């Protein structure tokens, strides 16, 4: 079954009275367990596509199905609910809630979902260990390095077993060593947990980790290429 199906997505923005194309007739299907990257130069529509799939933004036309639900007519609250239960997000920066510790950040989504204290605490500790942050769980984001912060964000995105993890330029603020560590983590989680990843990036090294790559330009899919799984 497809984790995500997009059909003929169009989105335009108006900026200073001018119409700017965000997405133009984007049709895309992401299978469950895929490790996909969206590439393309800055302004090509990667973020717009991720946000539309994630229910953070709505297209002008076209149709989106996520986890078997057509979200075209969802209300604000319904979209919030979809994001909460089905999608994990990793953003470029400022991913963490400053007043919560690393563990509390990971627990945050599970707590919103209404999971019990014992379950979510155990899950959070396991996943923090899995992303290599054992011992740092009580630190606040300000006490963590950029790379560590992104790992916490990944842990939070994956902790509640979402159908889909969307990451928007997750390595943009990291040095190359931290970048490749983070990508290795993504690849490992994809393998071990068979989670579906869609990662937007214009970083060549990141693309090398992905199994399928979709290139965007001016809001359009310009080419798509697949590679055998695990050939990175």
Partner 1 sequence: MSLLLLTKLAWRNLWRNYRRTLIMLAAIILGVWAMIMMNALMRGMVDGMLDSGLKYLPGHAQLHHPAYRDDPGVAHSLEALSAPLQEALADRDILGWSARVKVPAMISSERDSRGVVLLGVDPMQELSIGFAETDLVQGRFLESATDPSVVVGEAMLKRLETRLGRRIVLSSQTVGNEVGERGFPIVGVYRASLPSLEETLVYAGREVVQGMLGMGGAVSEVAILGPDYRRLEPWFGRVAAAVDEGMVLEGWRELDEYLALSLSIQGGAGIVLIVVIFLALSFGLVNTMAMAVFERVREMGLLLALGMPPHAMLYQVLLEALFLLLLGLLAGNLLGWLSLQPLLSGIDLSALAEAAELSGMGATLYPNLRGVDMLRATLIVIFLGLAASLIPAWRAARLDPVTSMNEY
Ligand X SMILES: Nc1ncnc2c1ncn2[C@@H]1O[C@H](COP(=O)(O)OP(=O)(O)O)[C@@H](O)[C@H]1O
Q: Which residues bind ligand X (CB under 6 A)?
A: 13, 15, 20, 22, 40, 42-48
Judge contact between 224 and 62, C-beta under 8 A: no
Least distance between ligand X and beta carbon 139 (Å): 30
Binding mask 137-156 for partner 1 (x = CB under 8 A): -------------------x
For residues 36 and 134, give the distance between their C-alpha atoms in angstroms, rounded to a whole number: 28
Should residue 30 be labelled a site residue for partner 1 when binding is judged by CB under 8 A? no
- Dihedral angle of Cα 112, 115, 121, 127, to the nearest 10 degrees: -80
Should residue 97 be labelled a site residue for partner 1 when binding is judged by CB under 8 A? yes
Q: Pick the binder of partner 1 from 99, 118, 142, 228 (CB under 8 A).
A: 99
Should residue 14 be labelled a site residue for partner 1 when binding is judged by CB under 8 A? no
Q: Which does 33 bind (CB under 5 to 8 A by kind): partner 1, ligand X, Mg ion, none?
A: none
Least distance between ligand X and beta carbon 47 (Å): 3
Q: Is 192 exposed, middle or buried (0-12, 13-18, 19+ CB in 10 A)?
A: exposed
Q: Pick the binder of partner 1 from 21, 84, 172, 229 (CB under 8 A).
A: 84
Q: Which is nearer to partner 1, 84 or 136 (CB)?
A: 84
For residues 48 and 68, give the distance between their C-alpha atoms in angstroms, rounded to a whole number: 21
| Gyration radius of the chain over CA positions | 17
β strands within 67-200, DSSP E: 69-70, 87-90, 164-168, 196-200
Residues in 34-63 at the binding interface with partner 1, rule: CB under 8 A: 51, 54, 56-57
Copy the structure tokens of residue 50.
């991720």
Q: Which is nearer to partner 1, 13 or 134 (CB)?
A: 13
Q: Which is nearer to Mg ion, 95 or 101 (CB)?
A: 95
Write the CB contacts of 34 (distance below 8 Å, at least 6 apart in sequence): 3, 196, 197, 198, 211, 212
Least distance between partner 1 and beta carbon 67 (Å): 14
Unique residue bearing structure tokens 């003929």: 8
Q: Which is nearer to partner 1, 68 or 230 (CB)?
A: 68
Q: How far apart are the first and last CA of the chain?
A: 25
Q: Which is nearer to partner 1, 35 or 91 (CB)?
A: 91
> Which of 23, 71, 58 has its CA nearest to residue 214?
23
Q: Count Cβ atoms below 10 Å from residue 93 Cβ, excluding itself.
A: 15
Footprint of Mg ion (CB under 5 A): 47
Interface residues with partner 1 (CB under 8 A) are 51, 54, 56-57, 76-77, 80-85, 87, 89, 91, 94-95, 97-100, 104, 108-109, 111-112, 114, 156
């Amino acid at each position: 079954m497809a984790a995500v199906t997009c059909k003929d997505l169009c989105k335009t923005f108006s900026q200073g009275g001018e119409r700017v194309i965000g997405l133009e007739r984007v049709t895309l299907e992401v299978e469950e367990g895929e490790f996909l990257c969206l590439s393309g130069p800055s302004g090509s529509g990667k973020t717009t596509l991720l946000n539309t799939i994630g229910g953070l933004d709505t297209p002008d036309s076209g149709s989106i199905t996520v986890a078997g639900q057509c979200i075209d007519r969802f209300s604000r609250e319904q979209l919030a609910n979809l994001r909460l239960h089905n999608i994990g997000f990793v953003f470029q920066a400022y991913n963490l809630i400053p007043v919560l510790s690393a563990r509390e950040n990971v627990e945050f989504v599970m707590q919103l979902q209404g999971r019990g204290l014992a379950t979510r605490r155990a899950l959070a500790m396991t996943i923090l260990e899995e992303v290599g942050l054992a011992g740092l769980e009580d630190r606040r984001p300000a006490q963590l390095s950029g790379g560590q912060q992104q790992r916490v964000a990944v842990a939070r995105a994956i902790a509640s077993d979402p159908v889909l993890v969307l990451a928007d330029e997750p390595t943009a603020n990291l040095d190359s060593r931290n970048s490749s560590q983070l990508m290795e983590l993504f690849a490992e989680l994809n393998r071990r947990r068979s989670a579906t990843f869609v990662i937007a990036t214009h970083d060549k090294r990141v693309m090398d980790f992905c199994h399928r790559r979709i290139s965007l330009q001016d809001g359009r899919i310009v080419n798509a290429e697949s590679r055998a799984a695990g050939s990175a």
